[in-house]
């Protein structure tokens, strides 16, 4: 792989043999039937990438490490923007409602969470109460006013919508950046830290 996968990318090719010896049966089954794993933010040794295995239940989540040389396929959140589903759930209604605005905003956006997982893999993960999880690639600063406008727009959707802003230094929750908090939580593979500006965290970390 020339380009290392990013957080929220879905990867195929991990086998049950790569799981820890004490991995639960549901995780072994998930990989055995060909489910992808999702890239998570964590440090990993050379040749490995931190991933999460998901089961059928919300609480079934396992942190693991996948060998980079076993990656057979990779799907990014932004590759799913125009993938649709025949399932008429609130999350899909919300996605169809928001898609034109997101396409026109000029930013690169994508779908993560259970919606992204099902759209990419075909394995059922969405349900009637699912949230719509989105990401926005934000190499340039987004103002707090812009963040509030986005939140207000999302709050008119058919379900709860959460978005992560992916800055060059890590991810920050859109709703937190839109809030009145003086500092917000910026997360990357090394740490989570409170910062004043997610685009200039080195100068203003708490």
From the list 152, 85, 79, the residue with the least C-alpha distance to 111 is 79
In order of 60, 115, 158, 176, 188, the CA distances from 129 in angstroms are 17, 12, 10, 22, 28
- Tell me the two tokens of residue 115: 């919606």
Per annotation, catalytic residue among 9, 133, 155, 197:
133
Per annotation, catalytic residue among 22, 131, 162, 197:
131
Q: Is residue 9 annotated as part of the catalytic site, yes or no?
A: no
What DSSP letter does each residue of 8-35 carry, written as one string?
T-EEE---GGGS-TT--HHHHHHHHTT-
- Sign, CA dihedral 179-103-122-76, equals negative
In order of 38, 65, 135, 152, 187, the CA distances from 41 in angstroms are 10, 11, 14, 28, 8
Report the catalytic residues: 131, 133
């Amino acid at each position: 792989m020339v380009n290392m996968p990013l957080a929220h990318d879905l990867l195929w090719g991990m086998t049950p043999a790569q799981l820890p010896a004490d991995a639960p049966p549901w995780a072994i089954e998930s990989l055995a039937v060909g489910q992808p794993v999702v890239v998570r933010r964590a440090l990993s040794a050379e040749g490995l990438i931190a991933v999460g295995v998901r089961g059928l239940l919300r609480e079934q989540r396992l942190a693991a490490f996948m060998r980079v040389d076993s990656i057979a396929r990779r799907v990014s959140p932004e590759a799913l923007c125009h993938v649709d589903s025949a399932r008429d759930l609130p999350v899909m209604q919300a996605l169809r409602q928001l898609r034109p605005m997101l396409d026109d905003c000029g930013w690169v956006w994508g779908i993560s969470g259970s919606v992204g997982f099902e759209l990419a893999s075909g394995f059922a993960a969405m349900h009637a109460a699912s949230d719509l999880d989105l990401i926005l690639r934000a190499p340039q600063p987004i103002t707090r006013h812009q963040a509030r406008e986005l939140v207000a727009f999302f709050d008119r959707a058919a379900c709860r919508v959460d978005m992560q802003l992916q800055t060059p230094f890590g991810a920050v929750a859109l709703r937190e950046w839109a809030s009145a908090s003086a500092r917000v939580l910026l997360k990357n593979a090394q740490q989570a830290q409170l910062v004043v500006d997610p685009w200039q965290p080195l100068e203003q970390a708490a």
